[in-house]
Every structure is written in structure tokens, then in C-alpha cells.
Amino acid sequence: MTTVHDFTVSDADGGATPLGQYAGRVLLIVNVASKCGLTPQYEGLEALHRRFHERGLTILGFPSNQFMEQEPGTDAEIQEFCRTAYDVTFPVLAKVDVNGPDAAPLFGHLRTEAPGDFGPAYGGFYDAITRIRPDAGADEVKWNFTKFLVDRDGRVVRRYEPPVLPEQIADDLEELL
């Protein structure tokens, strides 16, 4: 059975990061963007990181420019933004595609394991995204700040759609930690 630990991703400096190095830790994997209305979620993600890191949580941010080009910067520019705007101390890796033929294999796995529940319950956000991306597949990442919770064994536990704030995930993290 394939787990998240079987994947290797690129870090922002162009090096390889085997996710197996996080075996035994709970992961929250998030596609991020610096020019999105949801960008302030970096603050909540960093708060989760500071609260739970010592107990075994690692947050991994993956910038993506696939949603209205809201992450246009280089990896170096993204790193600088994260440090200066939100004092981010969790790993923000290399920019990736999360959907389509060039999607990072990790995100193909995440989407398959946790297709999501994006629908009318998300109100105006759902309506707006449906207008922008009417042909999005059921398993696709719909927008920036989609979050995937992964247990200590590398199994995908749950997907949180973009409007779910990081602080709303704290109880689920408590259960896994």
C-alpha cells in the first residue's frame, strides 16, 4: 500500500526531500499561495505549527500557481514572503502543480485518497469557485489552501476544503497526536 512516506518532493532550494523522513509524525499538507484572499491562513497554519510541532506535527506548504495565478513568484520570492509577511517557520517547499497532467505525484495520491466534500454547504465560496472552475473533477484540488491530514503512518486521514480555517482542524490534530 502506497503512503505519503513513499514520495520524494522538491524543496525550495531545488533539493530532494523524501517524505519518509516524516515517518512517525502527523502531517498537514497544504497547497498555498501568497496573493489569494485565503493567504491570511498562513497565520493560522503557523499557530498550529507552534502549538503542536513538539508533539509530532509537521506542516508542509506547497505553493501552487494553478488558481488564477495567485502564486506567481519564484521559490526564493515565496520563501521571503512567508518569512517576512507571516513569520512562517514550517517547511514551504518548491512550487508544484496540484491538478492536471503535470501534477506532483504526491498530490495525485492525496486527491485519490481523500477526494473531498466540496459542495453547496460551502455557500458563496462554493458558488464562486464553481463559476471559475465549472469543469473541475470531483477529486481535484479546488483552490488554494486545501489541506490534507496524514497520520503518523503516512495514511491520508482527511481532506479539508479551502474555507476550513486552520484553527478548525485543531481537534482533529489532538486526536492524532
Pick from 90, 96, 92: nearest CA to 79: 92
**Which residue in 6, 11, 35, 36 is the catalytic one?**
36
* H or E segment to which residue 38 belongs: none
Contacts 24+ apart (CB under 8 A), 139-143: 139/111, 139/112, 139/115, 140/99, 140/111, 141/31, 141/64, 141/66, 141/98, 141/99, 141/107, 141/111, 142/116, 142/118, 143/36, 143/38, 143/67
The answer to whether residue 36 is catalytic is: yes
Q: What are phi and psi of 166, to 5 degrees?
A: -55, -40
Cα torsion at 126, 127, 130, 131 (round to 10°)?
-150
As to burial, measured by CB atoms within 10 angstroms (0-12 exposed, 13-18 middle, 19+ buried), residue 175 is exposed
Residues carrying an active site annotation: 36
